[in-house]
Amino acid sequence: MKVEEAACKSLEIEKITSLIAKRCRSELGVMRASDTEPARDLAALMRRQELFNAIESYREKKGELPWINEVAPIAGYLREAEETGLLTGSELLRIRNVLLLAARIKEKLSAEKAGYPAFSMLIHEIADFTEEIKATAVISDDGRLYDHASEKLRSIRDVLRGLGETIRRKCGAMLNDPHIAVMLQERVLALRNGRYAFLVRQDAMGSFPGIVVDRSSSGSSVYMEPHSLLLLNNRHASERGEERLEESRILRGITALLVSRASAVRSAENAIGTVDLFYALSEMKRLNRWRIPELSKRPLFDIKGARHPMLLERAVPIDIRCGDGFRALVVTGPNTGGKTVALKTAGVCIILAWMGFPIPVKEGTVIGDIGELFADIGDEQSIEQSLSTFSAHVIHIREILENVTERSVVLLDELGAGTDPEEGAALGIAVLDWLREKRTLVLATTHHNPIKRFALQTPGVETAGVEFDIDTLSPTYRILIGIPGRSNALLIAGKLGMPKEIIERATKVMAGNELSMEDLIAQLHEKRAALEREGHELSIVRQKVESLRRDFEEKNKELEEKRDLLIANAEKKALSVIRSAEESARALIKNMESAEAESQARRELEKKREHFARIKEAATRREEKKTARESIAAAGSELKAGDNVQIIGTNGAASVIEVRGKKAIVQAGVAEVEVPLSKLRLMKGAAAQDPLKQVQISVSKPVGVPSSIMVRGMTIDEAIPMVERYLDQAYRAGYGTVTVIHGRGEGILRREVQALCRRTAYVAEHNLGSAEEGGYGVTVVRFRR
């Protein structure tokens, strides 16, 4: 998005970025705040938002990215170095701080890139500076070169240290010589103009064995170099010259290396500035409740609860929109009512949003694909060109009209003002109509009633008013879209003490259409107030209805649960009676002596079995239907490995290991169980648990799963699959132990049943029954828990 310079100036974008910059930790962040321009297109804006959200998320979860408080701008040093070829030690130290911080940030971003893909945008801006950091490591924290910067430098400094020691010994002896000591102003050795000397009294200058090298600041004494130090001083000066040449050579080499990477260094500096700027924006978002707006591919804006950044908490939140249902919004109302502030707030929010910044709005704010933003706000009178305010506005609006497109936003303050009201209104209507035909987004303010009428009557143009409290003579700053605002000039004048006769005369002057327009607006405001009252009453009714609906659903659910419980208990008792009757019937048949009687009894038993089977089947279907209503399958939820679920009818949690079609393998306690999706409920918000530490699952025995199974008399092929299915059902039903009745016989079926138990993971142990339980004819199975 492009923003014209005049719009940035009138909307005071520089002041707002300065407000944000105060939260930055360095000059790099401050520079980045002032240099940031709106994104060139929607894709670039989305990338900025993604990067900001990634950095903010990282801060919340893992803390701050690496930072050095001493970091400072360095681009200026590099520009100078391109001409001079030499950077000082202190300048190179600043550059090293930037490179070190850039390297640490890149290392951290690269390590976290898998969790935050948007970090790649910053990583690509930071090159590898290993060689440059190593080269600058020869500089100490005070900006001087270490001795090991080169072998030659080490050698020169060793010589200098030796010479210095020799000179100090020689001078120490001279200070102890009473003939010399009496001529000295101070008994100290000084270094003046690169040569060691004594501070000698003015009256002893002719007697001291040496030459003058400097005068004191007071002029009462002179610095004199003793003749005995001449050769040593000459050699010391020569070695110091060699030292400076070698230091210059080393610094020029490091400078040349950095200048060759100037572009990469500036890019790294920008990346650090971005990190600091996003830190400041994140703080603004946290402290002032700013938000990243939603984006739309359509040219529009829908701003909710916006506050101007310069007003902070003093601002009244406003809602303002354009582009969805209408392309132009005309805001009207009295002076000081907040029209211009609303206009500026919308413009500022759009520009900041396109910079990729959070903005002072509420949830649900949408900023669309906007190509350009123009603004004509305030007094632009040009003294140099001898142009009136009206002329300046006309010239500016003409320039705007030459550049607008369907994706442009145009902000026009006090449209048609500054000239004859009738002609100004006509010109304002013409401008609005022309922009409407171009399908440009327009947000305009005005006092002119003809423009209000145009907005009310023209398709694609909407009106809005700034609310005004007549009793207190103060604006509320609320924007009421759909209702034009009244100027209230006569009413305000009357409240402020204007003589009644004057007000009455003014009312008579206002005749015809103008008076009708004011009356129409007054009626609209009355209707809006009535609608607001009705809306409030309707809201109360809706809340009561919603409360009644929730109560009804809760009571209905409670009744259904009680009904299901009663039916389930009744069916359990019925099935218990059925099983008891069935076992008694078998025993009776076994004891019958007459084959004919036995045969007839078996036929009667089969008939009863069919009747019992139908009862069992109905009970099972009822239970399955109830279970299915609460299940993942019924809710249409998507299940994946790692989700926490509950087996319906149990109190414990289980963890999903794998999903296989309409079934899932879950970890319940220490065992893995295959359960249909129709018997699982998703546990939202439940924390993942160690399966070995989960609570044990306790399930009431569902209808249709008995505590024992009889396979006596069956073949192995018939019995084993039946026993395997039964054990699975019994384990999931929550039984601790069950009994498999296989009969004594030759023991073949018993061995196969027990082999099945040994290879079944959730079977803890299996044993032959006691004498009372059936001895060798039964196997008692105990499940793992």
Lowest mean pLDDT among 151-165, 221-235, 444-458, 586-600: 586-600
For 65, phi then psi, to 5°, come to -70, 160
pLDDT in tens, 656-711: 888 887 788 888 765 677 777 777 887 765 444 444 444 344 444 445 688 888 88
What is the distance between the alpha carbons of residues 578 and 287, in angstroms, rounded to a whole number? 71
Res. 587 pLDDT band, cuts 50 70 90: low
163 versus 774: the higher-pLDDT residue is 163
What is the distance between the alpha carbons of residues 205 and 16, in angstroms, rounded to a whole number? 68
Lowest mean pLDDT among 212-226, 583-597, 615-629: 583-597
| Bridge partners, residue 739, by sequence | 708, 780
pLDDT in tens, 33-73: 999 999 999 999 999 999 999 999 999 999 999 999 889 99
**Residue 614 pLDDT > 80:** no
C-beta separation of 470 from 526 below 8 A: no
Beta-carbon contacts of residue 346 (< 8 Å; ≥ 6 apart): 301, 303, 306, 320, 411, 443
Query: What number does CATH give the domain 701-785?
Result: 3.30.1370.110
C-beta separation of 573 from 564 below 8 A: no
Amino acid at 179: H
The overall average pLDDT reported for the chain is 83
What secondary structure letter does DSSP report for 312? G
Lowest mean pLDDT among 123-127, 466-470, 757-761, 766-770: 466-470
Res. 650 pLDDT band, cuts 50 70 90: low
The mean pLDDT value for 706-720 works out to 86
Predicted pLDDT at 335: 67
The angle, 0 to 180 degrees and rounded to 10, between the axes of the packed helices 75-84 and 89-111 is: 130
pLDDT in tens, 410-430: 999 988 777 777 888 899 899
C-beta separation of 327 from 436 below 8 A: yes
**Residue 714 pLDDT > 50:** yes
| Bridge partners, residue 221, by sequence | 201
Lowest mean pLDDT among 139-148, 175-184, 351-360, 764-773: 764-773
What is the distance between the alpha carbons of residues 506 and 490, in angstroms, rounded to a whole number? 8
145 versus 632: the higher-pLDDT residue is 145
The domain defined by 294-499 carries CATH number 3.30.360.10: no
Predicted pLDDT at 418: 72
What secondary structure letter does DSSP report for 363? T
Task: For 468-491, give one letter per residue: b (16+ CB within 10 A) or e.
Answer: beeeeeebebbbbbebbbbbbebb
Sketch the domain layout of the chain as residue ranges.
Answer: 2-129+261-288, 148-255, 294-499, 574-626, 630-699, 701-785
Query: What number does CATH give the domain 630-699?
Result: 2.30.30
160 versus 543: the higher-pLDDT residue is 160
Predicted pLDDT at 93: 95
Res. 574 pLDDT band, cuts 50 70 90: low
The mean pLDDT value for 626-634 works out to 64
What is the distance between the alpha carbons of residues 726 and 710, in angstroms, rounded to a whole number? 11
**Residue 594 pLDDT > 70:** no
pLDDT in tens, 355-374: 999 999 999 999 999 999 99
Predicted pLDDT at 534: 77
User: Does 2-129+261-288 match 148-255 in CATH topology?
Assistant: yes
Predicted pLDDT at 672: 73
Alpha-carbon torsion angle 581, 583, 584, 589, nearest 10: 120
| Cβ-based burial of 672 (10 A; exposed 0-12, middle 13-18, buried ≥19) | middle
Here the tokens at position 330 are 């005309």
Where do runs of H (alpha helix) occur along 85-143? 89-111, 120-123, 130-136
**Residue 86 pLDDT > 60:** yes
- Domain 2-129+261-288 class? mainly alpha
DSSP secondary structure of 485-526: PP--HHHHHHHTT--HHHHHHHHHHS-THHHHHHHHHHHHHH
Predicted pLDDT at 80: 94
605 versus 766: the higher-pLDDT residue is 766
What is the distance between the alpha carbons of residues 173 and 162, in angstroms, rounded to a whole number? 17
For 99, phi then psi, to 5°, come to -65, -40
The mean pLDDT value for 17-22 works out to 94
The CATH number of 148-255 is which of 1.10.1040.10, 1.10.1420.10, 3.40.605.10, 3.40.50.11540? 1.10.1420.10
Predicted pLDDT at 319: 92
